[in-house]
Structure 1
Amino acid sequence: MNPNNVINSPDGFTPTFIGDLTDYGATLGYKNKTNNDWNIDMSATFGGNKILYTVGNTFNSSLGASSPINFKPGGFRFNNIVGNIDVTKRFSESVALAFGTEARREEYEIYAGDSASYYQTGAISFPGISEENAGVFSRYNVGVYADAAFDISDATSLNATARFENYSDFGNALVWKVSAKQNIIGKKLIARASASTGFKAPSLQQVYLSTIQNVFANSTIVSEGLFNNVGKEAKAVGIPSLDAEKSLNFTLGFGIQPNKNLSVTIDGYLIKLYDRILLSSRMNDQATILNPLAAIGVSNVTAASFFINGVDTNTLGLDLVANYRNISIASGKMALNLAMNINHSEITENSSKLDDLRLVAPFNRTEEALATTSRPSLKAVFGIDYSIKKWNFSLNNTLFGKATYANSGMPGANLAWDDPAASSQSYLEFSPRVTSDLTINYNINDKNTINLAVMNIFNVIPKWKLMNLPSGTSYDEIYNAVTFNGRYQQSSYDAQHFSIFGTQFMLGYNIKF
């Protein structure tokens, strides 16, 4: 315990951040077929994870010379138990029935850090979790479903499914799906379509997570709060409790198989999400955010975020998958594979629950980009597989298309997503890039396989450029804000459209029992 050695270091100091992670899981199942041809499938699954953090080589400035330089800021644990019973039977060549139930119990625990890690300003780089924000939270839900399939003819089939679910914290939900398939030219050309609804209750993490974090903003490290939706902070600001997301979905597609070696599928989809649960922008308005927080004793943050039912969104997309198999080369077989997705997402309107809050940009250009444009609208994978004797070689080339992002700290990033001036503001544009992955498998025998994978062979990393910078704006100033003073040169501080880690190697050994 000597923070002076940290503070007075001639080279400055770099805090360390370590996570001790534990994952666990197990599944037990039972299958049986009765004398009258009912198929019964029962299973129980238990799984979860736990992470505890350690922060070192830093200090809590509020404690002065008495501050430790190493902290235990707390952590998180989540586990669930899921039980399923599925029953199916085909009554004839034309009718099949399925029904079942699922019960789930979830538990989420937030561990408090040591008191020095969260006292007042907290440990620099990662303040700890306070006792007030720690706790154990749980819920259960039980669902039942029924599914009926009808083969009206050799060429036409219909399917209908309904599911009813009860959540201990979010009430009841009823969702449904209807789908149809029609053979147009035998099995060489098939059309299919579906319509469905969806329901997604907020996760326990979205409801209860509350923490203070140090972030980089305009060349300065500041503390910002992510507060939960059931605490005093949300009530003081006027954030409503989270509600469930709902969706309406449509698909239309075609399957083409002119011969046994060539197959192509094309599927279009439309997803309409209502009351989408997203993290709000970092709100820092003095009158509507900081003053109400200060009034309840929260004065150590410069901005606040909450999970909110922020907006309604539409996503329109197209999936293409093509395979050509059994190409004879030498004494082996080669296959060519292409998978491609094109999509466009947009916000259609603010959630009605936020209209009356009169907050300053609860959903700004940064959050809009995270929800709609920060991931490529075009992604394609072209793969080549070659098998010869005991060897298998796979080469996959992935195209990541253009993506755009309004990074926090850029001019106009804090404007509301629907501000009339938003479209003319500066942004980051990530360039299209192609990465190549090679996997080599050697089958020692039927039960043992050794494999080597080289991911991103040519060490391709993201590239981006600043767009629409206002006249008189310093490029270096914005560059430093985007990259955390050059620390995140390959992407940006908040977003990237694919991994920045370059070439990676993996060696594995598989055993079948």
Structure 2
Amino acid sequence: MRKYLPILFILLSTAAFAQRTLTGTVTDAGSKLALPGVTVTIKHTKQGTITDAEGRFSLNLVKGETLVFSYLSFATQEVPVTKSDEYSVALLPSTHTLGEVQVVGSRNANRTKLDSPVPVDVIDLKPLLESAPQVSITQLLQYVSPSFHSVNGSNAGDAGSALNLSQLRGLGVDQLLVLVNGKRRHKSSNINWGGLGNGATGYDLNSIPTASIERVEVLRDGAAAQYGSDAIAGVINIVLSQSTDKLSLTSTASTRRRGDGTTTRTSANYGFALGKSGGYLNTTAEFATQAIGILPGRDDAGLYLGPIYGGGANTRNYDAIYTREIDEAILADRGLTRHNFNRRAGGSNKAKDALLFFNAAIPLKQNAELYTFGGISHRNSQFTAVYRLPGWTERNNAFLYPDGFLPNMDNIITDKSLAIGIKSKISNWDVDISNVYGKNDFGNVITNSLNASLGQRSPTTFDAGSYNASQNTGSLDISRYFEKALKGVNVAFGAQYRVETYQIIAGEEASYSKADLRTVYGLDTTAAGIVYNTKEGQIGLNGLSPGSQIHAGFRPENAVNVNRSILAGYADIEANITSKWLVSAALRLENFSSVGNVTTYKFASKYSITDWLGLRGSHNTGFRAPDLAQYYYTETSTSFQQGRAIDQVTASNQSAATRALGIPTLTPEKSKGYTLGFTTQPFRNFEFTADAYLVDVNNRVGNTGNFSATDVNLPVEVRSLFVQTGTTQAKFFYNSFSTRTKGLELTGSYRTPFRKGALTLLFGANFVNNQVTKVNTPQGLEAYRYIIFNDGEKARVTSHIPGRKMNLQGTFKIGKLTYMARAIYFGSVTTASAQNANFPQPDYFYQKLNPIWVVDASVAYSLTKSIQGVIGVNNAFNELGDYTDPKLSALNNPSVIGLQNGSAGIQPFIRITAKL
């Protein structure tokens, strides 16, 4: 990044002249009401903005002589730029108009979401940030986009609890591509366990401050041919704000029913004019806190019921020797209750976030612009798992923790990004040259813990090591719109070179060591009769758990520092064959230094039957190259099966144990996708779309089930892995299965004057079905069919995600008041929980969770023209969903599962916003 600092310094220091900024108000010519969400662009340029809740806009004039105003169900209006800097525009109704400016899914600068041949949602965040209970980008999208799914990271294990991963159309978190200002963004370096992304890396969208975002574009269609690897399910493009001369301050606070899990988020956004030709620098600072959240549900949810102090508490219940009465007497004598041993996993982490972001551009001459954007975020997130009870003699040391301990995993996450580029017009061709760098660092510090195998010599705080991933992407994009060819043809082509890195840094020795390992020696005799010693391997003597509890550190042999390069070229064409028929096609060739060549293509078309009805459809092929982390990551952690602690090792795909077992190296996932739908605008101010989709993905990467240390048929390399790590179960990365995803997406919107106010209604729904179509069992491992792809992994990709999701939202603005109410329906899901590692087929417990409705409501009041206050509530009726089945809860009281929406129950909030 250092080499870009001089350029950045020059860019930010160029504010030398006053700038011309065009402002104004857009209204409905009939009702005289302000129109929020109107697209305002400068003709023949890519500059544009959207009017705010008051119908006002602000736009920096870089070049051009005409303003274009477009809005759903209103006639597009062109207004010449005069000497005035203030414009008042009244739009007339029309049966067919353009919609919001769209970047994602098309390289045509004139394309909008309403005439797109594939489904695209354009979500203006500004009104949501004013009235919605949610404050993070993932939760905001969760409640407004029916095809988007994300739940609280606490449903994932260990480090994954610090992230809220995202899905589209029920596909994997790593089958989604994220762009910022149309440029590829880097992923998190963390491999997630449990939750939505078991064995997968995903995007940390919450490392981008919400106050820096102008809008979010969600392309709900495969787009690997246009944007490259990962875009199997679709693309999310985050468009950063370009506003200037406005200071926006927002602060939000919310808490849960029992006063726990309090969150705050405060942000400041300000834009500076740079120069006199339309340059800008928009900056955002954001700070957020999250307090510890206890398990949602009843006050005794998750309460431990089994033996606490009795020896062997991890392996038995109360019996004739150690009774509950004895246990309770010990608790009373120590002045403790069972609530002192409550677990917090499943609640929310204690966390602090600090984020800085910027977006800037400076015209270099009439037809060229230098731009840059990026930022840095820092997060401290503390995960606490299951209480290690004093009676768990193999995991606790009574001299260090006489009453047991609750181990903490502190994740220190730093995310950095910087993009620099130049846009220019050369001989009527738009040329964009850019370089984007991003890096994600993930540190792991274990506190309030111990390495039981070290006895009293064990530290209680451990540096368990760290890992990081980076991505540097250089791109050349060239496009041109031929207005006189057919009814308009846009041609685009370009090239991209990307370098990705992944690194694991070992932790301190105490975080991973197994202190009781001893070498086993044997005797042998030479041909001459001389007796000598032989090393027969190693064995653990005392059986005490090794490494730091909750998460063992990375061993030196786990440390890696690897990279790969990707070279790609693409061509993209969109042709309006007639005024009613649009056809588009894209072809991409991509070469990975690790997996070879991949070719993808896409065709799409839309036909307007009438001014108010259009048909559209597409076919695409896609791929996802396994992430470097999936090739090289390894870890040791503890899982709980029926309340019993089990130490597990995840082996690197490149390890000797993996090869010896017969699992091959990872290969790319490949997909085929189809969509067919229609868009309609049957009457003024109303829009409705319906799109059916089908996506086949072959050879998806996942985690195998658990191979057991008691299996004497496993290769010696796998048995040695068990001994070295002190674990009893092992799992591996593998292209283990293929899936078919079928679904239907519906969206609708309606806006109308109502009782001297403005009423906006939004509707969205997604109905999806995922099926496993094939299981890939390596040759020689046929007997392990139900371990290679177990029922838990099958449930994760087929039934852990609501098959039905619907959202209804109404906003009514009148005078100084804005009312918002919405209801979100999350359909039924089914969980599958491992009961053991039996061979050949482990036992699983299935639980079907009933559908739930979550209702949000808020009222906003404009105290002045610049200051607004909001009060409201998330989950107004305290809908929690189902509790764990008592058969599954084992030695704990049932607690809320929370897979559907991750809700912690009713959560009131208050917000103050100032625009100065």
Give the structure-2-normalised TM-score. Answer: 0.50
Question: What is the CA-CA distance between 1:449 and the residue it aligns to?
Answer: 7.7
Change (3 A) 1:388 1:145: farther
Distance 1:299 1:133 in 2: 12
* Counterpart in the other structure of 2:584: 159
Question: What is the CA-CA distance between 1:374 and the residue it aligns to?
Answer: 0.8
Distance 2:874 2:792 in 1: 30
Query: Which residues in structure 2 correspond to 1:297-312 (within 5 Å)?
Result: 298=724, 300-312=726-738
1:52-72 residue CA offsets vs partner (Å, 9 max, x unmatched)? 122222211111111111111
Change (3 A) 1:426 1:332: same
Distance 1:462 1:291 in 2: 46
1:291-315 residue CA offsets vs partner (Å, 9 max, x unmatched)? 5412465462211111210111101
Higher Rg? 2
Question: What is the CA-CA distance between 1:283 and the residue it aligns to?
Answer: 2.4
Amino acid at match of 1:56: T
Contact 1:106 1:140 in 2 (8 A): yes
Question: What is the CA-CA distance between 1:212 and the residue it aligns to?
Answer: 0.4
1:52-100 residue CA offsets vs partner (Å, 9 max, x unmatched)? 1222222111111111111111222122122222211112333221111
- 2:500 aligned with 1:75: no
Question: What is the CA-CA distance between 1:142 and the residue it aligns to?
Answer: 1.8
Distance 2:417 2:914 in 1: 19
> Pick from 882, 896, 899: which aligns with 1:463?
882
- 2:645 aligned with 1:221: yes
Question: What is the CA-CA distance between 1:384 and the residue it aligns to?
Answer: 1.1
* Counterpart in the other structure of 1:400: 826
Distance 2:869 2:468 in 1: 34
Question: What is the CA-CA distance between 1:159 and the residue it aligns to?
Answer: 0.9
- 2:578 aligned with 1:168: no
Gaps of 5+ in 2: 1-395, 515-545
Distance 2:600 2:652 in 1: 28
Change (3 A) 1:201 1:506: farther
Question: What is the CA-CA distance between 1:254 and the residue it aligns to?
Answer: 0.8
Deviates more, 1:241-250 or 1:70-79: 70-79
Question: What is the CA-CA distance between 1:320 and the residue it aligns to?
Answer: 0.5
Question: What is the CA-CA distance between 1:441 and the residue it aligns to?
Answer: 6.3
Amino acid at match of 1:432: P
Question: What is the CA-CA distance between 1:411 and the residue it aligns to?
Answer: 10
- 2:635 aligned with 1:211: yes
> Pick from 28, 37, 60: which aligns with 2:420?
28
- 2:409 aligned with 1:17: yes
Deviates more, 1:275-284 or 1:449-458: 449-458
> Pick from 97, 109, 134: which aligns with 2:491?
97
Amino acid at match of 1:461: L
- Percent identity at matched positions? 28
> Pick from 429, 453, 463: which aligns with 1:38?
429
* Counterpart in the other structure of 1:177: 602
Distance 2:837 2:554 in 1: 32
Distance 2:873 2:629 in 1: 35
* Counterpart in the other structure of 2:88: none
Contact 2:694 2:741 in 1 (8 A): yes
Change (3 A) 1:4 1:410: closer
Question: What is the CA-CA distance between 1:17 and the residue it aligns to?
Answer: 2.0
> Pick from 777, 784, 791: which aligns with 1:365?
791
* Counterpart in the other structure of 2:848: 429
> Pick from 274, 279, 287: which aligns with 2:698?
274
Distance 1:145 1:154 in 2: 27
Structure showing greater relative contact order (alpha-carbon pairs closer than 8 Å, 6 or more residues apart): 2
Amino acid at match of 1:15: P
Query: Which residues in structure 2 correspond to 1:180-199 (within 5 Å)?
Result: 180-184=605-609, 186-199=610-623
Change (3 A) 1:391 1:171: farther
* Counterpart in the other structure of 1:497: 900
Change (3 A) 1:511 1:14: same
Contact 2:560 2:632 in 1 (8 A): no
The SS at the match of 2:658 is: helix
Contact 2:449 2:548 in 1 (8 A): yes
Deviates more, 1:107-116 or 1:25-34: 25-34
Change (3 A) 1:511 1:359: farther
The SS at the match of 1:286 is: coil
Deviates more, 1:149-158 or 1:373-382: 149-158
Question: What is the CA-CA distance between 1:388 and the residue it aligns to?
Answer: 3.8
Deviates more, 1:137-146 or 1:173-182: 137-146
Change (3 A) 1:410 1:378: farther
Amino acid at match of 1:162: L
Contact 1:314 1:348 in 2 (8 A): yes
Deviates more, 1:132-141 or 1:406-415: 406-415
Amino acid at match of 2:477: D
Question: What is the CA-CA distance between 1:507 and the residue it aligns to?
Answer: 4.5
1:375-401 residue CA offsets vs partner (Å, 9 max, x unmatched)? 110011111123345665443321110
1:358-381 residue CA offsets vs partner (Å, 9 max, x unmatched)? 352211111100011111100111
* Counterpart in the other structure of 1:315: 741
Distance 1:30 1:391 in 2: 44
Question: What is the CA-CA distance between 1:289 and the residue it aligns to?
Answer: 4.1
Distance 2:906 2:480 in 1: 49
- 2:774 aligned with 1:349: yes
The SS at the match of 1:294 is: helix
Question: What is the CA-CA distance between 1:272 and the residue it aligns to?
Answer: 0.5
* Counterpart in the other structure of 2:154: none
Change (3 A) 1:288 1:397: farther
Contact 1:323 1:336 in 2 (8 A): yes
Contact 1:144 1:164 in 2 (8 A): yes
Gaps of 5+ in 1: 417-421, 467-474
Amino acid at match of 1:71: F
Change (3 A) 1:220 1:426: closer
- 2:667 aligned with 1:243: yes
Contact 1:116 1:122 in 2 (8 A): yes
The SS at the match of 1:175 is: strand
* Counterpart in the other structure of 2:552: 127
Change (3 A) 1:449 1:107: farther
Amino acid at match of 1:491: I
* Counterpart in the other structure of 1:470: none
Distance 2:768 2:837 in 1: 27
Distance 2:849 2:900 in 1: 7
1:383-422 residue CA offsets vs partner (Å, 9 max, x unmatched)? 1123345665443321110000111228999837xxxxx9
Contact 2:662 2:779 in 1 (8 A): no
The SS at the match of 2:629 is: helix
Contact 1:288 1:359 in 2 (8 A): no
Q: How many residues align?
A: 482
Contact 1:237 1:288 in 2 (8 A): no
Distance 1:389 1:33 in 2: 46
CA RMSD of aligned residues (A): 2.9
Distance 1:144 1:341 in 2: 34
Distance 2:400 2:761 in 1: 57
Distance 1:215 1:80 in 2: 32
- 2:718 aligned with 1:293: yes
Amino acid at match of 2:563: S
Contact 1:429 1:465 in 2 (8 A): no
Change (3 A) 1:248 1:111: same
* Counterpart in the other structure of 2:502: 108
Give the structure-1-normalised TM-score. Answer: 0.86
Question: What is the CA-CA distance between 1:187 and the residue it aligns to?
Answer: 2.7
Query: Which residues in structure 2 correspond to 1:331-342 (within 5 Å)?
Result: 331-342=756-767
The SS at the match of 1:260 is: coil
Query: Which residues in structure 2 correspond to 1:372-451 (within 5 Å)?
Result: 372-389=798-815, 392-409=818-835, 415=841, 426-438=845-857
Change (3 A) 1:396 1:248: same
Contact 1:108 1:136 in 2 (8 A): yes
* Counterpart in the other structure of 1:480: 890
